[in-house]
Amino acid sequence: MSLAQRTPAEFHDLVVAGDHVAVARAISLVENGASAALHSALFPRTGRAFTIGITGPPGAGKSTLVDQLAAEYRKRGLTVGVLAVDPSSPFTRGALLGDRVRMRSTPDDQGLFIRSMANRGHVGGLALAAPSAIRVLDAAGFDRVLVETVGVGQSEVDVVGTVDCTVVVEVPGLGDVVQTMKAGLMEIADRFVVNKADREGASRLAGDLRRMVRERHRGDAKPTVTMTQAQNGTGVDELADSLEQFRDHLIDSGALDRRREENLAREVAAFVGEYARRRLIGDDLRQLPKEMLRDLRERTRDPEGIAAGIVDAALESSREEVSDVRLTADRKPR
Ligand SMILES: Nc1nc2c(ncn2[C@@H]2O[C@H](COP(=O)(O)OP(=O)(O)OP(=O)(O)O)[C@@H](O)[C@H]2O)c(=O)[nH]1
Ligand SMILES: [Mg+2]
């Protein structure tokens, strides 16, 4: 039976059973923003997977590393879902980095699912679609979910705010620890990886990172620094060990629940913004009232002031509606 012939409930059951075709379809629905029923059906089934974001500059070897890490987890008997979140257009990136690695699932391994996600202009963009796609993989029962994304500061996608653990991948020759600090990576990294350890300067970079962590990091779970050669898998088992240690720490200390609660609350805030925007002004910005467009053009009111006005007016009128309803109810004859 094809997916199209299934009822929504049957479809959801297939996703939860980890059926690769159904999972792929569910992620497409999420990407296209047409999935409210799917979200509410799957959400209660989530929270089991440990989700790991792998971030770093273009060409650092993230895909190669994710590939190897997924293989390492499979060796350990764990199932893995992989999401490569790619905010840039295939035209610029593909041409720029002709040697980028594309990950592929092995068709006969039901325990490994790989999918890439690009911004196809859906409302809210990847920032809102990515956490939902991660949850599809979580609901599908994958033990570990790996999410590849380019580093902060270069991307509108804040995958970091949606995963349980963030790995920052650095490579020798692309920068130093001062840049790491400036880019705010110290704050987001739970684990550092120095990839391309076969290259000159790798040991020095790792040493500098370790020193920086010792000096600057507060809290009990200091980020580790692991050197890897993703190309041949060297260091990947050590990385998996350190990720599993971090997971144990998060669970034992109760920090995992706190982190997830914070992430979900942040997502709620993002959705409030998105829904309010959709409800109040829609997708076609030329549909803004003519006098607002004129005020903007003539620079008599600034964008923030107009936005605040729109939201305040909507809240005001809904408050009036509510009190109307109450008045009517009060007047009901007994
Ligand atoms: N020398 C060396 N090259 C590596 C290593 N790991 C990956 N590479 C190479 O680096 C290039 C880029 O690797 P990718 O895995 O595509 O890097 P990426 O970070 O996913 O790149 P984008 O997704 O385009 O940002 C490829 O040619 C890899 O073969 C390594 O440990 N040593
Ligand atoms: Mg990649």
Cβ 151 under 6 angstroms from ligand 1: no
Second-level CATH architecture of 47-254: 3-Layer(aba) Sandwich (3.40)
pLDDT at 322: 72
Task: Verify whether ligand 1 is closer than 6 Å to residue 85 (CB atom).
Answer: no
Among 68, 96, 100, which residue has the most ligand 1 atoms within 8 Å of its CB, making it the best to mutate? 100
On whether the CB atoms of residues 100 and 94 are closer than 8 A, the answer is yes
Does 69 sit in the ligand 1 pocket, CB within 6 Å?
A: no
* Residue 329 pLDDT: 61
Q: Can you list the positions of beta strands (E) in 57-120?
A: 80-86, 112-118
Q: Which ligand is nearest to the CA of 55?
A: 1
Whose C-alpha lies nearest to ligand 1, atom 27?
99
- Provide the β-strand partners of residue 85: 117, 149
Residue 135: CB within 6 Å of ligand 1?
no
pLDDT at 85: 83
**Whole-number pLDDT of residue 331:** 56
Nearest ligand by distance to the CA of 114 = 2
Ligand 1 pocket member 324 (CB < 6 A):
no
**What is the predicted pLDDT for the residue at 126?**
64
pLDDT at 128: 72
Q: What is the pLDDT along the chain (334 residues), one digit of tens a residue?
A: 788 888 989 999 999 999 999 999 999 998 887 778 888 999 999 999 999 999 988 889 999 999 999 999 999 999 999 998 876 544 444 434 456 777 777 778 999 999 988 755 444 556 678 889 999 999 999 999 999 987 655 444 477 788 999 999 999 987 778 777 777 788 889 999 999 999 999 999 999 999 999 988 877 789 999 999 999 999 999 999 999 999 999 999 999 999 999 999 988 988 898 889 889 988 787 789 999 999 999 999 999 999 999 999 999 988 887 777 666 665 555 4
CA distance 197 to 185: 20
pLDDT at 93: 45
Q: Is the CB of 100 under 6 A from ligand 1?
A: yes
Gap from CA of 221 to ligand 1 centroid (Å): 28
CA of 152 to the centre of ligand 1 (A): 18
List pLDDT tens digits, range 124-167.
556 678 889 999 999 999 999 999 987 655 444 477 788 999 99
53-93 pLDDT tens trace: 999 888 899 999 999 999 999 999 999 999 988 765 444 44
Q: How far apart are CA 323 and CA 334, in angstroms?
A: 20
Please, which residues have CB within 8 angstroms of residue 129's CB and are 6 or more apart in sequence? 30, 31, 33, 117, 122
Sign of the four-CA dihedral 94, 95, 96, 101: positive
pLDDT of residue 332: 52
User: What is the predicted pLDDT for the residue at 127?
Assistant: 64
Q: Is 180 in the pocket of ligand 1 (CB under 6 A)?
A: no
pTM for this model (two decimals): 0.87
Neighbours of ion ligand 2 (CB under 5 A): 62-63
